[in-house]
Structure 1
Amino acid sequence: MATVMTVVGILVFLLGLLFSIAWHELGHLSTAKLFGIRVPQYMVGFGPTIWSRRKGETEYGLKAVPLGGYIRMIGMFPPGADGRITQRSTSPWRTMIEDAREASYEEVKEGDETRLFYTRKPWKRMIVMFAGPFMNLILSFGLFLTVMMGFGVPMSVPTIGTVSECVVKAGQPTDDCPADAPVAPAFQAGLKPGDTVVSFDGDRITTYEQLQGDIRKSAGKTVELVVERGGQRLTLTPTIAVNDVQKYDGDGVPVKGETVRAGFLGFTPTSGVVQLGFGQSVDRMYDMAESGVKSLAALPGKIPGLWHSVVDGAPRETDSPIGMVGAARVSGEVFALDIPGSQRVAYFVNLLAGINLSLFLFNMLPLLPLDGGHIAGAAWESVRRRFALLFRRPDPGPFDVARLMPLAYVVASVFIGFTLLVLVADLVNPVKIS
């Protein structure tokens, strides 16, 4: 049964991925048509065409490899400096440029002169290229809201799970107290498993993070701790100890192997599934987006770890990059977990939301051939034209993005190499969930 559910999880992930790609390309398609640009093709996937149908002037289709998609807009690049579409030379760089320019005019027909992409004002081109990633952002926002407000998210709650008998440093076992270890404040004050903390030193407690922060700031202080036990409220008066406790970064993530001197009460919380409000969900999504930007910036530093995981079999880090194969594998594991069906669905929706957020952030990088590269080119053209108008100089005309195609090939090669490394790592040494 576990094998069947794993296969189901992978298939459901592939469907979700295909929808995300189609949704992305729909953003480009709808805005391109809105601004009168002719779009001969709308394709989900790459490689051989599995199915297609023409409606109006656009061919809609599905291709064999579901790892991307595209729409083909005519006239993506302006003619060359000599006013011609083709201009050949012996330079391989010039050949790349002119091949790209020629390909963007392959399907131009008589009467299309006013429907070319490059003839649209820069702000319209920016909207067309931004619309795709923006659709991923909208989908991510909706999916995250569904999980956080509907299903709820697993998180620590201010209910006591276990109580430590002594004060020990972070990372040391608490079940075998050293002879010289002082008694933990929680144990000494009579805190018991199952108690729910209602208030801490007059501060009403609603989340475990709030309680943890209050404890850490109260080192050496005797406080009033109100707990609910068996339907009754009790007031305890522990004196908060000073101890070496786990250090967290600005995003609330534990810093591996590092501690900090702070207040210590001596208990571990229980975990529960908590439904968040709209404001809490938005705050949490903002933190996730910020974390996503940092993770994107840190990708080059992850390459050595990926390499060692493939070559030396080194364990994959929990924050190791995964590709679509790895994500599909995780989806299969989620569906095979022995947990309620609603939690399986919540995990999957959360995974798909994270992928759409990543697609938005990645595509916004100002590099060709990504959408962000075309946006940057249109923005630069707008700046050039405004400066020319301001200083009463001749209009410089459209910025020739085709001249950046050699750089685009280099960027694409780097992305392909990184993708292949992640793919191999996902196959031979995958990230696993517990």
Structure 2
Amino acid sequence: MKKILPLISLFILVHFATAQTTIIQRNAAIESMIREISAENLEKYVRDLAGFRTRHTLSQNKQKEGIFASQNYVLDLFKSFEGQSDGRLSAYIDNFTIPADGRRIPEDSELGNVMATLKGTDPNDDRVFIISAHIDSRASNVMDAAIDAPGANDDGSGVAAVIELARIMSKKSYPATIIFVVVSGEEQGLKGAAYLAEKAKNENWNLVAMLNNDMIGNSHSSETNINDNTRVRIFSEGVPMAETERMAAIRRYTNGENDSKSRQLARYMKELGERYVDQLEVKLVYRNDRFLRGGDHTPFAREGFTAIRVCEMNENYYHQHEDVRVENGIQYGDLPEFVDFEYMRKITGINLASLASLAAAPSEPSSVGIDVRRLSNTSTLRWEAPETGKAKGYFVLMRETDASMWQKKFYTEETSLTIPYSKDNYFFAVQAVGEGGYESMAVFPQPITR
């Protein structure tokens, strides 16, 4: 007994010596908005959308069913929020023609994206943030525009989240502009998103980030029977699709293949999401998307924009791209009864936390670099103030090279910082911090060689 007691005492001392306390600081305005997200509202939107019977991109124009009726439903909701925005929110359908492609568009077709633009309040801030989902649905045959295709989860869940975010966020003001968009033509080849991404490119939008929400309502997997509404995936590209040779050369020199802008956005959403939303872990998936599938963030990535996909953790293939039927005792079809609305509420919350923080923060620090001109066991980073907004200070972020998330944050109000950690052993980034503690996305430094 005398030998055991010292061992127990040693364990207690070591345990308390190594334990760390995590302090979570939440902005009161963002926390209040997240509390306003309603699972009941999300359920109503999903059931209403499923009630249009089909939202197939090529479905007929009828008053109470089909894609055009469902788009008008979303437009009416967006317009109902305009009055609470003091004139900042404006909603409309951006119509366009998609030419026949010999694949999933048999003839030239009129499509439309339902847009609600919450104009930024700072006339000197031209930044744009997009949150998106797709309204079109499908069953087993992607060309069958007549069969029932309720699309409750794919992607009624994403559309419902975009509507709820527009409802809540349109009451607030941000220096930057937020666009809530519900695109069409996703199942026919990402047509609506491709049109919007090309438009943003041609019109030189300062599009900082695009958040695509596609299937965020299922928490019960097929085959493996996992039932879990405490995790969500964010997909992000590593090597950018639009990478230039100069970008590639810097990436190879710094080994920065895991530090693309999309990866920085995914990390930002994980940190902010888990800060504000309880009982939800954000899993970073180092892929642009899943095998055999695609999403509306991809056309934006191809145009060189920062874009990610938010998606449920466990998919159920009985309720995805299936005809509504009962077979061998199994109910197939994308029906509202298989949507977990509490899960949707939490995922909507991580989107709100990220969007509100980004739109309220100053822009990223400029000309971020790390000095590699001499051998040393310290690291010196330098940068310039953001082009837009006022930075109260900056965080220099640090992580080990095999870590997925930033592990330390060093605060400074200067535009350079030297820290006693070797640049050979760690990755670094810098983010601006504005009034209220709003943080910009992190910027991976370029090497300062002369």
TM-score (norm 1): 0.21
Which one has a bigger Cα radius of gyration? 1
Which structure has more relative contact order (CA 8 Å, sep 6+)? It is 1
TM-score (norm 2): 0.20
